[in-house]
Amino acid sequence: ETTVYQGANNFNVYAPSSAVSGESFNVIITAKKYNSDTMTTYTGTVNISDGVGTLNPTSVTFTGGNNGSKTVSMRETTAGFITITAQDTSYNGKHPTPGTSNTAGASGSDQLGMSWGRPVNFNVNAPYAGIYGESWTLRVISQDTFGNTVEDYIDSPSIYANNSGAYIYPDSIYFISVDSGARYDSVVVTTTGNVYISLSGQESNRNTVLNIDSGINSATYLTATEITNLASDDAAAAILV
């Protein structure tokens, strides 16, 4: 009597070597027997994971018409090296390796490198408080839509202070290749009280607030209306000389 197995022994997962965060890419999942032959009769639900929870979809169902192999359009939003794992946790009916017990579901994985998307935001961090006329460090990180650092960002976004009589120097942050998308610069502001600081690049806008010699005030983002007001305030871009 011939035993007919419905479950796969393992999965062959083929992903591209690289993809862009937020953009779709194809992954081929193939059900295999213990001898590496494709299990054309495989049907079932395969769970798909990336270890960080930002992969979509998270499962795919094989039908008889798939003949044991299915191409899945996927989307990942985390940059870096990602391991995609396909697993059928059901071991009932699994095609076993001769001489072994049938105690685990079928699985398989492949790795790909996810790059960041285009720059759309700045993550701006200033100290909670500073001293009038003295320098302090501003940290600026170029980010894509999903918060990944855009490591190849090279540009010189403008920096503004939207307070009457507030002057900030320098008036631009110059990113170079060795910054890998994260820049630290010394900045001087000549005013007291809450100073609203805005950075504006070709595709990016982000803001933060710094309290100069007037107690503690944590950094925060401004509204879209405030961003517009900052961009239109010529006095905010004045250079300290």
pLDDT tens per residue, range 28-53: 999 998 888 999 988 888 999 998 88
Residue 112's pLDDT is 95
The pLDDT score that the predictor gives to residue 100 is 61
Average pLDDT rounded to a whole number, residues 22-26: 95
> Which distant-in-sequence residues (6+ apart) come within 8 Å of 71 by Cβ?
26, 27, 28
Average pLDDT, the chain: 76
Residue 216, burial from CB neighbour count under 10 angstroms (0-12, 13-18, 19+): exposed
- Min mean pLDDT across 1-15, 39-53, 66-80, 105-119 is at 1-15
- Residue 208 has what pLDDT? 45
| Cα distance between the two ends of the chain | 92
Measured from the Cβ of residue 134, the count of other Cβ atoms closer than 10 Å reads 12
Range with the largest mean pLDDT of 80-94, 136-150, 159-173, 193-207: 136-150
Q: How confident is the model at residue 226 (pLDDT cuts 50, 70, 90)?
A: very low
pLDDT, average across residues 177-191? 87
Which pLDDT score is estimated for 8? 82
Q: What pTM value is reported for the model?
A: 0.71
Q: Is the model more confident about 100 or about 189?
A: 189
Per-residue confidence (pLDDT) for residue 38, from 0 to 100:
93
Question: Is residue 33 a contact partner of residue 9, using CB atoms and an 8 Å limit?
Answer: yes
SS3 labels along the chain: CCCCCCECCEEEEECCCEEECCCEEEEEEEEECCCCCECCCCCEEEEEECCCCCEECCEEEECHHHCCEEEEEEEECCCEEEEEEEEECCCCCECCCCCCCCCCCEEEEEEEEEECCCCCEEEEECCCEECCCCEEEEEEEEECCCCCECCCCCCCCEEEECCCCCEEECCECCCCHHHCCEEEEEEEEECCEEEEEEEECCCCEEEEEEEECCCCCCCCCCCHHHHHHHHCCHHHHCCCC
Q: How confident is the model at residue 195 (pLDDT cuts 50, 70, 90)?
A: low
